Every structure is written in structure tokens, then in C-alpha cells.
Structure 1
Amino acid sequence: MIVSLARHMEDFELDSTNLHAMVRLIHTVDLTSSPRTGTMGGTPFTGRYFMARGPLVDRRKFLAGSAGAMSAAFFGGGPLDALTSRIAPRQSQVWDAGQVRHLLPTVSESRILLKVSFEEALLAAPTLRVGARSFPGRMNDTSGRFWQFYATDLDAGATHSLSLVAANGSSLCEPWTLSTFPPADARPERFRLLFFTCAGGPEGTYTGIGQRRGNLPTAIRNRLLRRALSFNPDAAVANGDHIYWDLHRWSGQRTGALSPRAETSNFDFSGSVFGTSNEAALMLAAEPQIVPVYGTNFRSTPVFFLQDDHDHWENDAAGAFPIAWFQLQLARATQQLYYPEFLPEANRPLGLPWSASSDRGYLSESFGTIRYGSLAEVLLYDVRRTMTLGPQAVFVDPTVEEWLLARTTSPGVRHVVHAPSNPMGWSAGKWGEWYPDVLDRAVGALTTAVPKPYWQDGWLSQHDRLVDAMSGMRARTPLVVSGDLHAIGAGTMQRSGTLNLASNPVTTVLSGPVGTSEGGFPSAVRGVGSSPSGHLDLVETVPPIEQHGFTLVDFLPDRMVVSLFRWDVNSQPLEAIDGLEPFYTTELSTP
């Protein structure tokens, strides 16, 4: 197994003597153990855990690669040093996190799935207790620090008491509560859903108003999310870009070459992720971007994580997608370790791509449903995992499109909302968008008059089929809340190509980024901000604002209420986060 490097690093001062001590610690780890037995520092353990079949790590390669890369990152002041000082946010004294480092739950009407990491590796399986019932943990890494818990056959619409217990019976953290969703035929009066995007990114710095470098510090991202949680949402959607660690350059003369971050991580692209040096390299890159952002703050708020381009360890530049096999495995491993997959739902086919039943339970990696009684259904879809090129190009697999169209037109639920990982309504001129808009450098604006290199017409055709179905919901008001775009905005789509949507326009919302760097906003990348696609007639009620924020949507039987929040790092103090109120609210009445 691979030792829990992140935890042990906290005990080291970053000098050469102790780096060598850390390397000696790596030497003590026995990576040749069977999947059910092993040693850590000479101590035997038994347990059931996953280890990918593949070549075991070579010690010299591990030390020359991962340890050398870690040394370079540490002494070069690289973002990996976040593991030593920023990895665990301070938790509220009201709730004792105990040995838990981070905890992210998701739920359906009868199931709970938890992803949990612990301060120390656990040598035997812990247990999740839900009321009087017990559910054994399943190890998700090869060291025993990451576990998942899958509880089934629970009462719907109930508040459940949860606790995590070690194999010896001791408590691993204070008990807490988590509610399952109401059954599909229930008629709740209200449902509040939080949306945000782009919470990832290596640790940045902030020294005062307008004085920051890189991504927002994780403590500030956590503070924004805690403000969002103060409004007591029933669930949350984290829509893409949970990490930024692209492995290839996507612009300039060296396009396609390994990025500096890839060289630091020194991945073995021909090796397995788990059970090799790749596992430690993944954790060193991803953990500082996820664990301190969420901690245990979402323990009582179900969260639904969609992946997007950067979650596949790449930018959505031409040539990067469909994603390479190794980076696909990194994306899957990151999800397995840190945040929950999607639980099954009665109206979502079991055979959709990247959906399967295994010893980890029935889970979908890319397509999810939030069903809250008969009041609301939110359709969650990752457009990167199944995107194709060529004359039949699509963003989502045809079977996924069939599911989306079927649910959009089906009766029995008051509100149906689409939540794709790629924004509808606006273009930033990027390659991997629904739209053909591209930057015309001569005039400094986006245009559809110039062909976008390598862009695929089929992506837009699929977009139009989806929005046509949304607008066709005569008994509902169509709403799309998207991720990916680093901005907050809202508008109504009146036309898409030859489709006249004016009789039931599609309201589209940019949910707001949580961690974007100063160089990550569209205007910084291309010199122009996001704008409505030339393929559309879009009435902008809130033109895209390049600030940090989030969105709340309240579902009621007769309407939806959309509230946008923003915080301006360049003009507002940190304390303003704690008092954020909506700067824009709109009510969408239903017919």
C-alpha cells in the first residue's frame, strides 16, 4: 500500500534533512502485499480494499519521481506545499470532527453515500451507523485513509442520525444528522438548492482588498460556501472543475507538451493509478484543492458533484478531448477518493454510460438526478465524458440524450431543471462549447462569421434538440443552471437557430465560481468577456459578471425563485462574505 503521505507530512519541517526522513518513511511501505493483507511501518493489518491490477511500484522510480517532484514543489514554493499547511480547514467548535478530515454525502429517497477521509489510516474497516442499523465501510485507496459508506433501504423523507465508529467501537467523530429526500409521490411545499462551479485550484494568496495571486485561498472558498450553507439549502450542486492540474499545455508554441504541473507530478502514464506512485502523485495534486474547501461543513447537506474538463486533468482545448485513457482513470480515481458518485433513480436507465453495479454499489459517474418528491427534478449531466467528434458528433451519448428528452417531456413532477456541465446561453470563445463563436482578434469580439477550428456542428444540433424540448414544456417554466463559465449571470433564450422559443423562453443561469484565479476569467484569457452566442437571441437580465459567488433556487408549487450572490475580491473586504445577500432575484411563475 501507499502510506498516507499527506498526514505524515504535517510532522515535517520543510528542510532537506526531514525530506530524507520522509523518503525513508516511504521506504517502509510494503507495496507488494496482497489486496487483503499488508504492513505499514512493520505493523500487520487485514482488510478489504481495492487495488487496481497492474504493475506494482518500483521503489527507485517512486523515489526518483514522486519524492523528487515533491522536493522540487516544496523548495520551489509550488502549490503542493498546501498539503503541509492548508489541507485541513478549521472546523466549527460546535461539532467535533474527531479523526475525520473531510466528509461529503449524497442521498436519494432511500439511500445515503458518504465519501470520508481520516487523519490516520484505519487498519480495519470502520462502520457507519444509521439509527440502529450498521453499514461497513469500503476502502477507496490502498492505505486505509479514504473510505466510502453506502446505506440502503432507508426511510424516505426522514432525518437520520449518523455516526462513524472504528473497528474497536470508538467514535471517529461526533454523531450528526442527514435527511433523505421525500418519495417521488410526496408533495413537499418547498425545496432549496444551492449551485456553484469552479471551486478547485491550487492554493492562492490574499493580503487585502484587490491584493491576491492565483486562485482564491481555500479558506476564502470555504468561507463563501459556509455563507451559502447559512441559507439552509436542502442540497447542493458542485458543477465541475473541482481541481485544476492540467497535464498538457493548451496554448503557445509548445501546445500538447507536458505542463509544468505534469512534470512536477511525474505520472507514469502507462501505469495504474492505485497501488503505484501515481496514487501519491494524484493525492498531492488533488487533495489540497478539495479537502480544505469542504472539510466537514457539508455533512448534513447532500452534495452532487459533476465533473467537467479540468476534472479530467485537462483544459477543453482542441485535441484534448475525447480524453486520453490515463487521464480518464485519474478523473475516476479522484471521484472515487474525494466526492460521491450519483445514486440510482427510478427514471434514469441503469445502462447509461459510466453507470454500473459493482461491490461499490450501483453508481453513475457522470449522470445524476435530484428528485425531490413531485415538486422538482434536476437533471445533471457531464458533457465531457461522452463527447465525440466527426459527422455524428455529440456532447452526451445518444442514450443520455434520450433520457434527458424523456424526462423533460414526462408528466408527474412540477419543475424539471437541466444542469449541464457546459453553459447554455453564453460563449467565451472556447473550443469545447455548444456554440460556434470564436474570437475575432482583428475586432476584439466573438463572432460566428469566422469558422472555429475543430469545433463540431453536432454539438450545437444536440443543444437545439434539448432546448426545443425544454421550451415545449407548456406546463412548466424551463430553467437551465450551468457550470464551467467563470461568471455569474442570467438571461432568457428567445431563439436558438431556427427555433422560436419566445412562447416559453428558456431561462438560463451561470451559477457563479467559487475559486477562480485572476487569470481564469474569460476577459483575462481572451481579452473579451463572455457574451451571448450569435446562434441565439438571448435577453440578458444579468450580463456575465466576473466575480465569485453562488446561486440559490427555491422550488415552490407555483414558481421558482432564483437568487444570485456575488463577492468582489477587488472592492469588498473578507468580512463582507459573511453578510452576502442576493444582488439579483427573479421569480419564474409556472403556467
Structure 2
Amino acid sequence: MTSDEFPRQAARHTRRRFLTVTGAATALAFGVNVAHAASAGAATPLPGDPFTLGVASGDPLPDAVVIWTRLAPQPYEPLGGMPYQAVRVEWQVAADERFRQVVRSGTATAQPEYSYSVHVDVRGLRPARHYWYRFRIDGHLSPVGRTRTAPAPGDRPDRLTFAVASCQSWPDGYYTAHAHLAAEEVDAVLFVGDYIYEYGISAAGGLRNTADPVPDQFRTEADTLDRYRLQYALYKSDPDLRAAHQNTPWIGTWDDHEVQDNYAGVYSKALDPVEDFTVRRASAYRAYWEHMPLRTPAPQGPDYLLYRRFTFGRLAEVNVLDTRQYRSDQADGDLWKPDNPGRDDPARTFAGAQQRSWLLDGMRASRATWNLLANQVVMSRMDLDASGTPTYNMDAWDGYAAEQAALLDGLAGLTARNPVVVTGDVHAAYAMDMKRDFDDPDSPTIGVELVGTSISSGGNGVDVSVNGQNFLDHNPHLKLVNERRGYIVVELTPHELHAAYRAVPYIDRTGAPISTIRKFTVEAGNPGLNPA
């Protein structure tokens, strides 16, 4: 296939904005049978542009990257408005934005049983360079996405830059932070959980107060495969989220809201029977895979191996954790609670022994200067201590003290690997020194934890709430609390880490500016945060 087979004038700038998708308010009915025959395009004419949910790329390797789209000309209709048949989608990857130098091309089959999602693992690429990609079906051309491969294993880059983002509740406000993130020149976005929220959505769309009512089928909570697919379609209707995906490869992991708030392993927050909740988890995991730029195979049941590792030359490794799938039920409920015996029970798991061994063994073998842990919930000790009694979050690492201690013990022996934990979940920006013994402020620092605030969850937020001030007052290893919305930009060099905390002043309307609220540096070989 030559580049001339795709009209060059259709190449678009990767930061362009798209119109928000609207759809008819109809009930979703999804067939369960597999369509076996694939045709070149669709035998039935499509009712409109199938690329309403945009394009994305992710999980970059030195010679490969995943490119993604989902065909949905009418994203809130049954089957996304697609005819019930498997269809072939053409794709191209080029070394230039105008596709004069097409380096890889082919076709992929979009199957109805996977919601017409397309995941192409493009191989044979060159390390540490940008590529552009696009899809076509039946004369419809997708937006052009930009991606980037990782450096070769032995390369020694002068610098790498990652953005850390999480928690993007659609009705809590606009994704203005994503609009700014789309303009950042970063090597990859580390998205550490809560891509969707499972809750029902009002006709007004919460703080968005939308002019076009949100369709009726969004009133109920997502708990089936069809309903999770609808939620992803609504979230991906946002032009700023699509722009952030379109410009940069993402490395993602889930937290709880991709399934259910504060679920733990096979235990439902609502105390549903395990058999019923396992079905719900399987549906949620499948919908997550369908809508993210992840490699095949897709989940085939309630289990999915999501933890994985990416090497960026000799400068950095990124270890992606999964702290939801393998954990025991929370101790004494899933809220902030005083210390209790269940919290210290060594039989209770969090990441699980297998994942913990994978992580620590991999870090011991790492040849990289910096070793990042893309982690969902706060790993460091955080004592709310509002009443003078040590009070911890039972849903975070603090709620699983035995495994928390085992991991910190392991990291204490790996300070030469420069461990850096990047975290989401709490809708606030924190910067923390990780201590060998959090009860002793003079204990050695074994690494740092950088907690990014939310993209939108929690609404406009404040600079520091009452609880935020309590954290600052009772946790001497905590160096920053800010509760506005935004993300972190982490720049790595062979000698230093630079962390810039970026935030917007409001999200209940569009157009907010972005600013850097605080900067820190960390010296390689000398763990601990330094003001910049």
C-alpha cells in the first residue's frame, strides 16, 4: 500500500479539536454471537463518521507501539451504530505527518464482540522516534495520531519526560487539564487509574451543565458490559481527552472506578455475591481493554494480567502495578479508620506475592538510572490524625500494613536504583519522601512518591483543604499538598529528576489557564525531594 492510497490533504494536525459527539437516547442491546466473516469495509453503508471516539497509541517498545481506534458512528446507539458484521479497517504508520514516508501499513479486523475496537501492535519501528498513524474504512479517514517509540535498551538518552495523570470523572467538570497536557512534549503519559467512573450521570451532565441533555441510558450505574461500553463512549466524546491521546502514547493501569468504587479483588463494595461480582468484573475488564491502547489478547474472563514493565534505554524503567485485582477485602471497611488488627494481618494481600516478587526482582536486575512505579493508591504512610489517634486509609497501602512493610523493605535495599513512585487516586497533589521508618522522621529516605491530582474528579478544588492541612501537620515526610486539578510533568536526566506540578484554577467552565504550582528535584543516588 502506498501513501497515495490515502489522500494527503486529509492529514490533520494532531492537536486539533473535535466536535463533541452526541447520540440518540436509545437503549443499548448488544448481541453475543461472534461474527466470523470479515469483508473489506462494511457491507452495509455506515451511517456516519466511524471515528467519533478518536485514535490513541500506547505501550511503546523500542521497535513497536500499539495503535487503537473504535468504530462508532453513533456511539450511544446499539453496536455504536455499526452493522452487525466484522469489518476490515486499513491502517498506516508514517515517519512524517503528511504520510509521504509510510513505513508500515495493513488491515485489522474490527469484531462486533469486541465493540469494533481495533488494536494493532505495529512492529519493526525504529527506537526513540516519532511516528504518525491513521485508519480508514469505507472512505472515512480517521484523525492523524502521533506516537513515539522507546529508546533502544542500550541507549543512554540525555532526558526523558513523562506526564502523570489520573481520575477524570466526566460530570465533575471539563477536561481542561487534558487540553494543556496535549500540548506538552512528553515521551509518554502514565495514567494511573480511574479512567471512567461507574456512577450514573444526570441529564445536565453534572458540573458540565451540558446544552444537549445526556441520554437517558446514562442514569443508571455501569455494571454490565453494554453499560460500561456506553460510559467509555461518553468519556471519549470529550475533545480534550481525545487530543491528549492523539498526541502522545499512553501507558495505563486501572484503579477501582473502572469496575466499582473501592472494590477489592472479588469483593464488592455493595457486598454483592462473589459469583455476581465476578461477572461484573469480567465485563468491566473487557470494556477497559476494548477502549485502551493495549496489546492483545483481550480478557476472556474476570482475570487480566495488567502489570508489566517498559524500558527506556539506560535512563528509565516504568513498572506498571495493579493493586486492585489481587487484594484482600479491606480491613474494617474501606474508609479512613483508626489503626486496627486487621490492618496488620500478614495473611492479607494487596499487590500479591507474585506481583511483588516480579517488581522487586525486576528492579534488582534493572540497568536503568531511574525506576518508576506507576501505582494506583498512596504507598507512603499517611496519617490523617485529626483526633490525635493514628488514622489511615483502609483502601490504600496503609490498610495493608504487612505487605506495605514488605515492599518498603524491598525498596530500602534498592535505593541505588532510584525508586520513584507515581500515584493517583486522592484528587490532590502530594510530594513525599518515602522513609524506611515513617515513625522516625530521621529515618533514611529510600525514595520519593509523587502523587498527581485529578484531571477533573472533585470539581474545581481548593489550594489546601482542612484535611490537606491535617496531612501537612501530621506527616513530616509530606512536602506538598495542593487540591486543584491538573497533572505532573516528570523530567529525568542521568543526574536529576525534575517534577513540575501543573494545575488549572477551575474546571466548571472551559478555558482555564495552566500554571506550575510547585517544582522539586531529586538527585540520582541521593533520594529525597529538594525545592526547585
Correspondence for 1:36: 36
Q: Match for 2:365 among 396, 404, 410?
A: 410
**Secondary structure of 1:295's partner?**
helix
1:552 aligns with 2:501: no
Change (3 A) 1:446 1:401: farther
Q: Could you tell me how far 1:35 is from its partner in structure 2?
A: 2.3
**Separation in structure 2 between the aligned mates of residue 576 and residue 264 of structure 1, nearest angstrom:** 29
Correspondence for 1:470: 411
- For the 8 Å contact 1:555–1:561, the answer to whether it is kept is yes
Correspondence for 1:91: none
**Separation in structure 2 between the aligned mates of residue 388 and residue 321 of structure 1, nearest angstrom:** 15
- For the 8 Å contact 2:423–2:451, the answer to whether it is kept is yes
Q: Could you tell me how far 1:487 is from its partner in structure 2?
A: 0.3
Cα offsets for 1:61-85 (capped at 9, x unmatched)? xxxxxxxxxxxxxxxxxxxxxxxxx
Correspondence for 2:306: 366
Change (3 A) 1:533 1:383: farther
Change (3 A) 1:448 1:316: farther
Correspondence for 2:467: 528
Q: Could you tell me how far 1:496 is from its partner in structure 2?
A: 2.9
Change (3 A) 1:528 1:584: closer
Amino acid at match of 1:230: A
Correspondence for 1:514: 455
Correspondence for 1:125: 88
Q: Could you tell me how far 1:358 is from its partner in structure 2?
A: 6.8
Cα offsets for 1:516-541 (capped at 9, x unmatched)? 134999999xx73485599x964222
Q: Could you tell me how far 1:394 is from its partner in structure 2?
A: 1.4
Q: Could you tell me how far 1:556 is from its partner in structure 2?
A: 0.4
- For the 8 Å contact 2:262–2:395, the answer to whether it is kept is no
**Separation in structure 1 between the aligned mates of residue 292 and residue 390 of structure 2, nearest angstrom:** 38
**Separation in structure 2 between the aligned mates of residue 518 and residue 237 of structure 1, nearest angstrom:** 22
Correspondence for 2:337: none
Q: Could you tell me how far 1:320 is from its partner in structure 2?
A: 2.4
1:112 aligns with 2:65: yes
Q: Could you tell me how far 1:101 is from its partner in structure 2?
A: 2.5
Pairing 1:92-107 to 2, within 5 Å after superposition: 99-106=51-58, 107=60
Gaps of 5+ in 2: 1-18, 74-81, 94-101, 201-215, 330-344, 526-532
Q: Match for 2:326 among 386, 398, 407?
A: 386
Q: Could you tell me how far 1:555 is from its partner in structure 2?
A: 0.7
Correspondence for 2:529: none
Q: Match for 2:421 among 469, 475, 480?
A: 480
Deviates more, 1:190-199 or 1:488-497: 488-497
Correspondence for 2:159: 190
Change (3 A) 1:495 1:11: closer
Change (3 A) 1:142 1:426: same
**Separation in structure 2 between the aligned mates of residue 493 and residue 178 of structure 1, nearest angstrom:** 33
Cα offsets for 1:453-484 (capped at 9, x unmatched)? 89998822222222233333343433211111
Correspondence for 1:340: 293
Q: Could you tell me how far 1:239 is from its partner in structure 2?
A: 1.2
- TM-score for both structures, normalised by structure 2: 0.71
Q: Match for 1:587 among 512, 521, 526?
A: 521
**Secondary structure of 1:160's partner?**
strand
Amino acid at match of 1:129: Q
- TM-score for both structures, normalised by structure 1: 0.64
Cα offsets for 1:345-403 (capped at 9, x unmatched)? xxxxxxxxxxx85799xx96521323211100121112011112575211112111001
Q: Match for 1:136 among 103, 107, 110?
A: 107
**Secondary structure of 1:588's partner?**
strand
**Separation in structure 2 between the aligned mates of residue 236 and residue 182 of structure 1, nearest angstrom:** 16
Q: Match for 2:248 among 301, 324, 327?
A: 301
**Separation in structure 2 between the aligned mates of residue 453 and residue 155 of structure 1, nearest angstrom:** 45
Correspondence for 1:420: 375
Pairing 1:10-409 to 2, within 5 Å after superposition: 10=22, 12=24, 31=31, 34-36=34-36, 99-106=51-58, 107-120=60-73, 121=82, 124-130=87-93, 131-139=102-110, 141-142=112-113, 145-166=116-137, 168=138, 170=139, 172-199=141-168, 201-203=169-171, 215-217=172-174, 221=175, 223-246=176-199, 264-265=219-220, 278-279=225-226, 281-292=227-238, 293-316=240-263, 320=269, 324-341=277-294, 365-389=305-329, 391-409=346-364
Amino acid at match of 2:281: L
**Separation in structure 2 between the aligned mates of residue 358 and residue 98 of structure 1, nearest angstrom:** 22
**Secondary structure of 2:284's partner?**
helix
**Separation in structure 1 between the aligned mates of residue 170 and residue 509 of structure 2, nearest angstrom:** 22
**Secondary structure of 2:516's partner?**
coil
Q: Could you tell me how far 1:230 is from its partner in structure 2?
A: 2.1
Correspondence for 1:460: 401
Q: Match for 1:568 among 505, 509, 512?
A: 505
**Separation in structure 1 between the aligned mates of residue 384 and residue 477 of structure 2, nearest angstrom:** 20
Amino acid at match of 2:454: P
- For the 8 Å contact 2:441–2:477, the answer to whether it is kept is no
Q: Could you tell me how far 1:404 is from its partner in structure 2?
A: 0.9
- For the 8 Å contact 1:493–1:501, the answer to whether it is kept is no
**Separation in structure 2 between the aligned mates of residue 473 and residue 454 of structure 1, nearest angstrom:** 26
Q: Could you tell me how far 1:202 is from its partner in structure 2?
A: 3.7
**Percent of residue pairs bearing the same amino acid type:** 15
Amino acid at match of 2:279: F
**Secondary structure of 2:88's partner?**
coil
**Secondary structure of 1:137's partner?**
strand
- For the 8 Å contact 2:452–2:488, the answer to whether it is kept is yes
CA RMSD of aligned residues (A): 4.2
- For the 8 Å contact 1:425–1:532, the answer to whether it is kept is no
**Separation in structure 2 between the aligned mates of residue 262 and residue 533 of structure 1, nearest angstrom:** 43
**Separation in structure 2 between the aligned mates of residue 305 and residue 567 of structure 1, nearest angstrom:** 23
Change (3 A) 1:262 1:315: farther
Q: Could you tell me how far 1:147 is from its partner in structure 2?
A: 2.4
Change (3 A) 1:421 1:455: closer
**Separation in structure 1 between the aligned mates of residue 113 and residue 488 of structure 2, nearest angstrom:** 37
- For the 8 Å contact 2:255–2:323, the answer to whether it is kept is yes
**Separation in structure 2 between the aligned mates of residue 486 and residue 235 of structure 1, nearest angstrom:** 21
Q: Could you tell me how far 1:499 is from its partner in structure 2?
A: 8.5
Amino acid at match of 1:589: E
Q: Could you tell me how far 1:134 is from its partner in structure 2?
A: 2.5
Change (3 A) 1:533 1:319: farther
Q: Could you tell me how far 1:236 is from its partner in structure 2?
A: 0.3
Cα offsets for 1:491-525 (capped at 9, x unmatched)? 2133435789844442211111111134999999x
Q: Could you tell me how far 1:194 is from its partner in structure 2?
A: 0.1
Amino acid at match of 2:228: L
Count, aligned residues: 444
